[in-house]
Amino acid sequence: MTRIKKNPSQRVSIEDVAKLAGVSTATVSRVINKIGSVRGKNKAKVLDAIKQLKFEPSVFAQRLATGRSNVIALVIPRYEGVFYSFYALELIRGVGTLCAAFKLDLLLSLTDVRSSLNLRGVDGVIFADIIGNRHQVEDIISKNIPCVVINHYIDDLNVNCIAIDNAGGAQEAVNYLITLGHKKIAHITGDLVTQAASFRLEGYKRALRKNNIKIDPRYIFNTNYSRGQARLAADRLLRMSDPPTAVFVASDSMALEVMAVAKEMGKDVPRDISIVGFDDNPSGLYGPVALSTVRQPLIKMAEDSVKELHRLMTEKKETQVKKIILPTELVIRESCRPLGSTR
Amino acid sequence: MTRIKKNPSQRVSIEDVAKLAGVSTATVSRVINKIGSVRGKNKAKVLDAIKQLKFEPSVFAQRLATGRSNVIALVIPRYEGVFYSFYALELIRGVGTLCAAFKLDLLLSLTDVRSSLNLRGVDGVIFADIIGNRHQVEDIISKNIPCVVINHYIDDLNVNCIAIDNAGGAQEAVNYLITLGHKKIAHITGDLVTQAASFRLEGYKRALRKNNIKIDPRYIFNTNYSRGQARLAADRLLRMSDPPTAVFVASDSMALEVMAVAKEMGKDVPRDISIVGFDDNPSGLYGPVALSTVRQPLIKMAEDSVKELHRLMTEKKETQVKKIILPTELVIRESCRPLGSTR
DNA sequence: CTGAAAGCGCTAACAA
DNA sequence: TTGTTAGCGCTTTCAG
């Protein structure tokens, strides 16, 4: 049974190149991959043939033959508001930039938490956040595919992770408020299903505790990071009979919403209430008053994750798993005032 | 020469499954791909074997054998400020969501304009914006790879495109300003290398022309979409001896910067100057005064592009190329006032 | 330094 | 309905 070429797309193959250059496919392969040594003359002929034929090696054939793909996946769990979160784009930006630098292809997976994601054929994966999709990570680990988890500190899994010091950052923010003389400090949380949000809550509590301020549950408002829920929380908070004098909000975009609500109710920031956000979202600069916030090194985290993954993918030797926590930085602007002063 | 399996990763292959199930690889392939007919009994045995062996077909082998990959690429040219542009994430969101729905893998390519992008092995591509990378589009077209261009209207290339009515939107915005009685209307452009920016400028001019208002070049400020340049422009604009009473800004984030500068200079918006932006970026809601703007259907554009691409990839018959322009919508909020009134 | 040829794992045409 | 087997296009070992 003889078969005609299946592929009618006139794809030029390595064989065509070899023929035109008058060498074997092996030699062509060598010059393509810059492996082994090829006589200058032959090399030139091959290069020439490649150019003439506009040859481009088939990635599939390469991948099938080598078992390597040079593709990494960035898995971002989809949850309400992740797309309004500033955070996602920063991550994509950081990861995307370094992928280009390392000549890695980037597969973007905006997964549903429960979906069993399709990561077949990927050489490595970066998990951004683990919310309910821990099984995906375990799956990848069990398959021995290099991976690194970012924005989530995992202790009980043998995996590299790079996280942000959310608890520390939150604590510093609240400490700052306390230093200004505030005692009645509220907290609007993010979605506590994310580690970032729950650690920020933890940092908030820790700061209070260390300063012997009682934690008042009425001052803690849970949200899902959305502006809508922030608005609700702000509304309730500002109408309390014994309202807080300051509030630490788990994201800048929510903090801006709080500011907006305050304004609508005729309250002044920071005179009537001091606000600290989290993210260092540029939008924070353009409100009626510049937002004080906690800056987190998102880009660095993203970039480091690619570097680390790349190392994992190229270095053969098993290295100790690294758990890294990146520090945050308090950015003081205009949204807080010392209690008792008139600013 | 006998060779041991190269792949030490104990990959289980279709052959292993066939053996365990007591059928041929062809039959296994049939049940995997739900193609042809397989006796119920055999099907069950195969499914069982697959489960037992935890078999996952190699995408590379599949792709090599079929010539299809089910991967599409989203190409976003990298230019200053694209990442602060609100626009990029919206696109990624829209495209990402629909890719999941269509079970397509999404390759994200944040390309340098001059780089010859690596799109080998991709079944289709969506180009977001064409700025200097027109050759990439031509390249893909010449290879007969389905593609659609979004956010850029191309007339002279036989390619589907979905764009936004930037000129129309701009014109409507400026018309609105004129309706309010403004005559001295400035424009802060985006990066004119992008079609969006240049068409917005065009719309601005057209509105003026149609209303017999002279176009004053001193009132047109070119920027690259960045906040920094917006600031510079705003500063010059507001200090003019004969300052405009209104300004149409090519993006909301720049409009917010203009607002900020005005405020710093002790000017009030909209009392001293009216501002209209473009994008309907949520941030526009949280300034000292809510920003009037032009809403563009980014998500729809992104989603439609995937639908269209998918159609191109699946339907065999050549269809007429479609050129679509999506309408914008003027969103009136609080940043403009009728001239002569006191708001 | 070079070439022959055996895979890589799967699909699909063809025969049965 | 099922099995056989020739590719898909490349890499890589081994012999020369």
Work out the mean pLDDT of chain B and round it to a whole number: 89
Is the pLDDT reported for residue A13 higher than 70?
yes
Residue of A nearest to B69 (CA): A60
B108:A100 CB<8 A: no
Which residue of B lies nearest to A68 if distances are taken between CA atoms?
B60
A79 with A112: CB under 8 angstroms? no
| pLDDT for the residue A236 | 97
User: Which residues on adjacent β-strands are paired with residue B111?
Assistant: B77
Cα dihedral B313, B314, B316, B321 in deg (nearest 10): -50
Report chain A's mean pLDDT, rounded to a whole number: 89
C-beta of residue B279 within 8 angstroms of C-beta of residue B87? yes
Q: What's the sign of the alpha-carbon dihedral A283, A285, A286, A288?
A: positive
Contact yes or no for B252/B266 (Cβ under 8 A): no
The nucleotide closest to A25 (CA, C1' atoms): C3
* Low-confidence winner among A179-188, B46-55, B153-162, B333-342 (lowest mean pLDDT): B333-342
Q: Is A51 on the interface with B (CB under 8 A)?
A: no
Burial environment of residue B262 by CB neighbours within 10 A (0 to 12, 13 to 18, 19 or more): buried
Radius of gyration for chain B, computed over Cα atoms and rounded to the nearest angstrom? 27
Question: Is B15 near strand C, with its CB below 7 A from some atom of it?
Answer: yes
A298 pLDDT tier (thresholds 50, 70, 90): very high
Q: CA A106, CA A121: separation in Å to the nearest integer?
A: 12
How far away is chain A from the Cα of B84, in angstroms, using its nearest Cα? 9
In whole angstroms, what is the distance from residue B218 CA to residue A337 CA?
Answer: 42
- Both structure tokens of B64: 């090599």
Predicted local distance difference test score (pLDDT) of residue A303: 96
Q: What does the pLDDT average to over A139-167?
A: 93
Which range (A95-109, A145-159, A311-325, B122-136) has the least confidence? A311-325
Average pLDDT over residues B99-123: 79
Residue A256 at interface with chain B, using a CB cutoff of 8 Å: yes
Average pLDDT over residues A104-113: 83
Q: Do B287 and A282 touch (CB under 8 A)?
A: no
Closest CA to B302 of B102, B111, B148: B148
Is it the case that residue A318 has pLDDT exceeding 80? no
Q: CB-CB: which of A83, A257, A286 is closest to B256? A: A286
- How confident is the model at residue B4, as a pLDDT? 36
The answer to whether A286 contacts B259, with C-beta atoms less than 8 Å apart, is yes
For the residues A133-162, what does the mean pLDDT come to? 91
Residue B53: what residue type?
Answer: L
pLDDT (mean) for B315-333: 89
| pLDDT of B88 | 85
pLDDT of res. B1? 33
Whether A32 contacts chain B with CB within 8 A: no
* pLDDT surpasses 80 at A240: yes
Q: Please give the C-alpha separations between residue A302 and each of A8, A122, A129, A167, A312, in angstroms, as whole numbers.
A: 42, 18, 12, 19, 15
Q: What is the mean pLDDT of residues B8-28?
A: 84
The predicted pLDDT at position A342 comes to 45
Rg (CA), chain A: 27
Q: What is the mean pLDDT of residues A325-335?
A: 97
**pLDDT recorded at residue B2:** 33
C1'-nearest nucleotide to the CA of A24: C3
Give me the pLDDT at residue B249, please. 98
Q: Considering chain B, what percentage of its residues have pLDDT values greater than 70?
A: 92
A24: closest CA of chain B, how far (Å): 20
- pLDDT band at residue A317 using 50, 70 and 90 as cut-offs: low
Judged by a CB distance cut-off of 8 A, whether residue A64 touches chain B is yes
Cα–Cα distance measured from residue A80 to residue A132, given in angstroms and rounded to the nearest whole number: 14
Length of chain A (residues): 343
Residue nearest to nucleotide C1 (CA to C1'): A38
CA distances from A43 to A21, A31, A61, A281 (A): 9, 6, 22, 52
Q: What percent of chain A has pLDDT over 90?
A: 59
Note the CA–C1' distance, B4 to D14, in angstroms. 14
Q: What is the pTM of this model?
A: 0.88
pLDDT > 90? residue A121: no
Mean pLDDT (whole number) for B7-20: 77
Predicted confidence (pLDDT) at residue A3 exceeds the cutoff of 80: no
Long-range contacts of the stretch A212-221 (C-beta < 8 A, 24+): A213/A178, A213/A183, A213/A185, A216/A184, A219/A184, A219/A185, A219/A186, A219/A187, A219/A244, A220/A186, A220/A187, A220/A189, A221/A186, A221/A187, A221/A188, A221/A189
pLDDT in tens, B286-301: 878 999 999 999 999 9
Kindly list the structural domains of chain A, giving each domain's residue range(s) and its CATH number in brackets, ordered by start: 14-66 (1.10.260.40), 71-165+298-327 (3.40.50.2300), 166-296 (3.40.50.2300)
Alpha-carbon gap, residue A319 to B140, rounded angstroms: 42
A·B CB contacts under 8 A: 108
End-to-end CA separation in angstroms for chain A: 90
Structure tokens at A248: 């630490």
Pairing of β A147-150 and β B293-295: unpaired
Which residues of B are less than 8 Å from A142 in CB distance?
Answer: none
Helices (H), chain A: 14-21, 25-33, 40-53, 59-66, 87-102, 134-142, 166-179, 195-210, 227-238, 252-264, 298-314
Which of residues A233 and B113 earns the better pLDDT score? A233
Report the gap between the CA of A328 and the closest CA in chain B (Å).
21
Q: Does A270 score more than 90 pLDDT?
A: yes
Please give, one letter per residue, the 3-state secondary structure of B320-334. CCCEEEECCEEECCC
| Structure confidence at residue A316 as a pLDDT band (50, 70, 90) | low
Q: How far apart are CA B229 and CA A197, in angstroms?
A: 35
Which of the four pLDDT bands, split at 50, 70 and 90, describes residue A7?
Answer: very low
| Chain B positions in Cβ-Cβ contact with residue A59 (cut-off 8 Å) | 120-121
Distance, CA of A129 to CA of A150 (rounded, Å): 6
Q: How confident is the model at residue A81 (pLDDT cuts 50, 70, 90)?
A: low
Q: Out of A180-184, A299-303, B142-146, pick the least confident.
A: B142-146
